[in-house]
Amino acid sequence: MHPRRPTRRISVGSVAVGGDAPVSVQSMTTTKTADVDGTLAQIYALKAAGADIVRCTCNEEEAAEGLARMVPRSPVPLIADVHFQYRLALAAMEAGVAGLRLNPGNIRKPEHIRAVAAEAKDRNLPIRIGVNAGSLDPALYERHGGATAEALVESALHELALFAEVGFENVKISVKASSVPLMIDAYRLLSERTDHPLHLGVTEAGPPPAGLIKSVAGIGTLLAEGIGDTIRFSLTADPVEEAQAGRKLLEILGLRERKGLDLIACPSCGRAEVDVIRVAQEAEAALAERNIPLQVAVMGCVVNGPGEARGADLGIAAGRGKGHLFVRGKVVRVVPEAEMVTALVEEAERIVAEGIEARLAAADESAAAEAEAARAEVLERQGADVNDESERIARIQEIAG
């Protein structure tokens, strides 16, 4: 293993990228972004699988509106993936995303690129320049005689120069290709030309096992050379497999620590019925000292919690002064709020001893109905727009329309 190449450090929401920050894992949702509940459930599953950052497509106004509804509820920073329509990049920023990914191959007008960069600068929001060999600017393709490493790097540096015209430098860069040798050559060349953090990936790697082999060959080679600050496996598969594979590769290379307990928690939006941060910290401390190898979720409200974190082995959500304990999304017990952490630890120990199916079979038959009643009561008391989504969506419609 070579020492990591020194790079600038940027922040994607709460996740540091570059510098001496740990190499982070990214993935991308496959749901329609306008499907808020379905997309959030996948985001929570990705977080539980090891993703630090999740990207969502923003290909229409409805997708930007969906992002506005998801940002307050997401357990990880969200990146908006924008192609062709620069106004959707502006709308995604209004939605509150933690960053953007722009493809220089399909947003080409300099004035549009500068407009997005200027807005991102005002919001202190990072942008990934995402060059892709399959969508390279035709002029570059012709000048270089194809999608060469030099062409990919030139595309990235040209976009970087447009950003510099408005004083924007909050950037990370990728130069992806489906050819592993081309991808490796492009990143090696780019690493010599800039100190911006690099996002590694073999694009369109395909389904496992070939897709996994390609990704490990490309990403693993560069990481071993000290190149790369954040990674994504682009597989034709459930994105959870991407996150798991990326995390495992970093662990194998000694770039991330192996963990037994995997605790996820919501970000405590306007729906939260408890101090989520305190409960999560107490739960993590209690479970970690027992070395319990489970994915455990701590959710602030019963309205969204069990559904969003249904991919976790175990979780608890607050509502009407009580804790609603759920296993794989099914509410199995209801306990007083003061006993949430204790109940969570007890149930975790029972799952380890008896198995998940046994704990599902032992569920309190009245728990699900009680949780649904609590959910309805919270919605009636708080209203449907507790996170002030309607005002933000109105601004998005004005920007994108």
pLDDT of residue 320: 81
Domain endpoint, select from 189, 222, 252: 252
Is there a single domain that holds both residue 307 and residue 205?
Answer: no
pLDDT of residue 87: 97
pLDDT of residue 174: 98
Is there a single domain that holds both residue 237 and residue 203?
Answer: yes
3 in a structural domain: no
With a cut of 50, list the residues of the chain below it in pLDDT.
Answer: none
47 in a structural domain: yes
Scanning 124-264, the segments in alpha helix (DSSP H) are 138-144, 149-164, 180-193, 210-224, 239-252
Is there a single domain that holds both residue 178 and residue 325?
Answer: no
Is there a single domain that holds both residue 88 and residue 234?
Answer: yes
Is there a single domain that holds both residue 266 and residue 239?
Answer: no
Is there a single domain that holds both residue 361 and residue 247?
Answer: no
389 in a structural domain: no
pLDDT of residue 64: 98
49 in a structural domain: yes
Is there a single domain that holds both residue 15 and residue 144?
Answer: yes
Is there a single domain that holds both residue 17 and residue 148?
Answer: yes
Is there a single domain that holds both residue 199 and residue 299?
Answer: no
328 in a structural domain: yes
Residue 235's domain spans which residues?
9-252
pLDDT of residue 273: 83
Is there a single domain that holds both residue 91 and residue 233?
Answer: yes
Is there a single domain that holds both residue 110 and residue 128?
Answer: yes
HEC readout, 288-357:
HCCCCCCEEEEECCCCCHHHHCCCCCEEEEEECCEEEEEECCEEEEEEEHHHHHHHHHHHHHHHHHHCHH
**CATH classification of the domain holding 135:** 3.20.20.20
Instruction: Quote the number of domains for the chain.
Output: 2
Q: Which residues contact 300 (CB under 8 A, 6 or more apart)?
A: 266, 268, 269, 271, 272, 273, 274, 276, 317, 318
pLDDT of residue 401: 80
Is there a single domain that holds both residue 211 and residue 273?
Answer: no
- What does pTM read for this prediction? 0.90
Phi (first) and psi of residue 45, to 5 degrees: -65, -40
4 in a structural domain: no
1 in a structural domain: no
Helical axes 239-252 vs 210-224, angle rounded to 10°: 40
pLDDT of residue 246: 97
**CATH classification of the domain holding 329:** 3.30.413.10
Domain endpoint, select from 217, 252, 287: 252
392 in a structural domain: no
